Amino acid sequence: MMRALAIIAALLITVPITPTPAYASLEEQSAVAFDGEEALRVSQAAIGRTLSDQVLVNRSDAHVRLSDYRGKPLLISLIYTSCYHSCSVFTRYLGEVVDVAREALGEGSFSVATIGFDAVNDSPGRMTIYASGQGIDLPNWSFLSGDVKSLKALTTELGFTYAASAKGFDHMAQVSVIDADGKVYRQIYGDRFDPPALVEPLKELVFGLDPTSSSLDRWVDNVRLFCTIYDPSSGRYRFDYSIFVAIAIGFLCLASIAVFIVRAWRQSTTPLPH
């Protein structure tokens, strides 16, 4: 029991006070006790759910639809800009892992959206300042705002819970991996998770689940899927050529056996000299 409580506590981005489902009002949130196991259950229950096409606003005050991100995997993280420590640490670390993933999977192979869930305060201007503070300025990484209705729908569909507290909000440290069709594929928890926890499901989506690829493209993607491996010593992914060496050695062994069999057969069928 103590171990389970410790795991739940590690998944919270701030000290848990009274987190509750995101769709509750601030008054309702203050009156409902937090159940960590229920929060995890709600988050896991979102896996397989297709997100509705909510309209959000980017840093340029332009409308962005979630459907605009269809066609490639999308990472969604939810933060609030008034959080000057935990959310910033979480976002900066996510940036480090995203860098590892881009190096392994290719530039432009997936998108990232950091969304401010505090509709009252997380304006496009605040999201711009927040992004700048984390040193993130990548073409496929959006920082988005939304109104109360859109954020209520989105956080509910993502299984993301939060609650008002004396310091602002308490919430789960959660990154949702969304597939190319807008479906929740995996949930990643914790403010410092191991890079493979995020990169491996992205690998599966980028390299392994594209039925529109040509046969050659599909073959290349399968090779990259199985041969791109994580190196804990460097903290990066690398392409492992050992499988090709093993295949070559196996081919040479089979060829040698075949030559031996052919020679033995010829010798057995050659008439002996008189």
Is residue 147 domain-resident?
yes
Each residue's pLDDT tens digit, 7-38: 444 455 443 333 334 444 444 444 455 566 78
Is residue 217 domain-resident?
no
Domain count, the chain: 2
Q: Does one domain contain both 130 and 15?
A: yes
Q: Does one domain contain both 129 and 200?
A: yes
Is residue 224 domain-resident?
no
Q: Does one domain contain both 145 and 184?
A: yes
Is residue 87 domain-resident?
yes
Of 194, 212, 230, the one marking the end of a domain is 212
Structure pTM? Answer: 0.72
Is residue 231 domain-resident?
no
Q: Does one domain contain both 153 and 248?
A: no
Q: Does one domain contain both 208 and 252?
A: no
- 270 burial (CB, 10 Å; 0-12 / 13-18 / 19+) is exposed
- Res. 97: pLDDT tops 90: yes
Question: What is the rounded CA–CA span in Å between residue 162 and residue 1?
Answer: 24
Q: Does one domain contain both 207 and 247?
A: no
DSSP secondary structure string for all residues of the chain: -HHHHHHHHHTBSS--S--EETTS-HHHHHHS---HHHHHHHHHHTTTPBPP--EEE-TTS-EEEGGGGTTS-EEEEEE-TT--SHHHHHHHHHHHHHHHHHHHH-TTSSEEEEEE--TTT--HHHHHHHHHHTT---TTEEEEB--HHHHHHHHHHHT-EEEEETTEEEEB-EEEEE-TTSBEEEEEESSS--HHHHHHHHHHHHHH--TTS-HHHHHHHHHHHHHEEEETTTTEEEE--HHHHHHHHHHHHHHHHHHHHHHHHHHHHSPPP-
Each residue's pLDDT tens digit, 163-214: 887 777 888 889 999 999 999 999 999 889 999 999 999 999 998 754 455 5
Bridge partners of 67, per DSSP, are none
Each residue's pLDDT tens digit, 133-166: 999 988 899 999 999 999 999 999 999 988 887 7
Q: Does one domain contain both 7 and 76?
A: yes
The whole domain housing 249 covers 241-269
Percent of the chain with pLDDT over 70: 65
Is residue 133 domain-resident?
yes
Return the closest-CA partner of residue 47 out of 225, 190, 189, 170: 189
Return the closest-CA partner of residue 56 out of 150, 139, 131, 156: 150
Q: Does one domain contain both 64 and 109?
A: yes
Q: Does one domain contain both 110 and 54?
A: yes
Q: Please give the single-letter amino acid code of residue 172.
A: M
Is residue 183 domain-resident?
yes
Q: Does one domain contain both 140 and 261?
A: no
What CATH number corresponds to the domain at position 157? 3.40.30.10
